[in-house]
């Protein structure tokens, strides 16, 4: 069973990102001039774009209207939707992946001679077993407005670019930590602003009452939690808590608890040193069959198939 943790040890963002660690990442700069449009086909993973000078527009499948990006803005795209960056609508876009992958990681790609819009873009690809969970935990678009990125986000991006551009001994480890730092800082800024960009787990963390319940689930994943227990921790009635949790996070509280348990179980199963029954017990399941059904519903594979795929 997982050891119960103290209040100071519990940090849901660190817990989740600790499991959803990037398997790969790549960042490149953009220096564009004139009028331009760059289109990116849909792909899984987390996409990041930061504008350092000038302005452009973002269009993405599922958005009702383009979003204007200005100097100091940073966006995270969490889904697999296609998107485009442009200065004027109606232009024939170039393929973004072909354009940027022709430039080495950490270097800057020049478009139309450069000079008007300068930015940095990149991606985080997560391990296949976890990649599909990201859109369920985060809103499809996280837009951090101008000014908030100064210092907090530009520094890790700039340093990451340098590590990718001129590899040094130990650079792979530093780059990995910088990538994680960038994600954490971006999510912190999102929470500080308490943005209202759709329902997602991250949005629920911006509510102190819901955050208390989420921290309790993370502290004691194997406990036989009930909705009444969690409502008491949140200081709300059972009905109010259930309604608000679902509205803010996009899923019922008990489904979130099941998802967190299955993520923990998946990490232990990947180690290959414990039986399925033993792992089931660590996350509060006495029945291996009940655990197997829940695991398949969340992770998409039965536990034994997941173990084989991980191996």
CATH number of residue 222's parent domain: 1.10.10.60
The CA distance from 101 to 107, in Å, is 10
Question: Does residue 155 sit in the same domain as residue 61?
Answer: yes
Q: How many domains does the chain have?
A: 2
Q: Tens of pLDDT along the chain (311 residues)? A: 455 555 545 788 778 777 776 666 778 889 999 999 999 998 888 888 888 889 999 999 988 899 999 988 888 898 889 999 999 988 999 999 999 989 988 889 999 999 999 988 888 877 766 766 676 777 888 888 876 655 567 777 778 778 777 878 887 778 777 777 777 787 777 777 645 555 577 778 888 999 999 999 999 999 999 999 999 999 999 999 999 999 988 889 999 999 999 999 998 998 778 999 999 999 999 999 999 999 999 988 999 999 888 77
Question: Does residue 142 sit in the same domain as residue 192?
Answer: yes
Q: Are 241 and 232 in contact (CB under 8 A)?
A: no
Within-domain flag for 7: no
The CA distance from 227 to 249, in Å, is 15
Closest CA to 258 of 219, 287, 231, 285: 285
Question: Does residue 136 sit in the same domain as residue 56?
Answer: yes
Q: Whole domain around residue 173: which residue ranges?
A: 12-198
The CA distance from 29 to 124, in Å, is 15
* Last residue in a domain, options 169, 198, 227: 198
Could you give the maximum distance between any two Cα atoms of the chain, in Å? 64
Question: Does residue 168 sit in the same domain as residue 248?
Answer: no
Q: Are 157 and 50 in contact (CB under 8 A)?
A: yes
Closest CA to 54 of 98, 99, 123, 111: 111
Question: Does residue 241 sit in the same domain as residue 277?
Answer: yes
Question: Does residue 144 sit in the same domain as residue 229?
Answer: no
Question: For position 39, which CATH number holds?
Answer: 2.60.120.280
Question: Does residue 97 sit in the same domain as residue 184?
Answer: yes
């Amino acid at each position: 069973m997982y050891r119960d943790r103290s209040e100071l040890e519990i940090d849901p963002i660190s817990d989740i990102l600790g499991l959803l660690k990037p398997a790969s990442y790549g960042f490149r700069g953009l220096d564009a001039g004139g009028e331009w449009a760059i289109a990116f086909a849909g792909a899984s993973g987390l996409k990041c774009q930061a504008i350092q000078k000038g302005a452009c527009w973002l269009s993405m499948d599922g958005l009702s209207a383009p979003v204007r990006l200005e100097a100091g803005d940073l966006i995270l795209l969490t889904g697999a939707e296609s998107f485009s960056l442009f200065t004027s609508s109606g232009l024939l876009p170039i393929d973004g992946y072909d354009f940027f992958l022709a430039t080495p990681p950490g270097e800057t790609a020049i478009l139309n001679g450069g000079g008007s819009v300068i930015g940095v873009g990149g991606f985080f690809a997560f391990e296949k077993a976890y990649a599909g969970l990201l859109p369920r935990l985060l809103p499809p678009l996280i837009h951090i407005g101008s000014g908030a990125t100064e210092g907090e986000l530009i520094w890790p991006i700039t340093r990451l670019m340098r590590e990718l551009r001129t590899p040094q001994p130990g650079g792979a480890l530093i780059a990995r930590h910088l990538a994680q730092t960038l994600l954490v800082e971006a999510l912190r800024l999102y929470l500080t602003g308490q943005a209202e960009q759709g329902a997602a787990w991250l949005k629920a963390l911006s509510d102190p009452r819901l955050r208390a319940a989420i921290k309790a689930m993370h502290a004691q994943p194997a406990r036989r939690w009930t909705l009444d227990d969690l409502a008491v921790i949140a200081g709300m009635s059972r009905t109010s808590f259930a309604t608000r949790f679902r509205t803010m996070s996009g899923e019922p509280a008990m489904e979130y608890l099941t998802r967190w348990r299955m993520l923990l179980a998946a990490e232990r199963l990947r180690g290959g040193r414990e039986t399925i029954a033993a792992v089931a017990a660590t996350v509060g399941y006495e029945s291996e069959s009940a655990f197997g059904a829940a695991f398949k519903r969340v992770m998409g594979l039965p536990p034994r198939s997941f173990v084989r795929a991980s191996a």
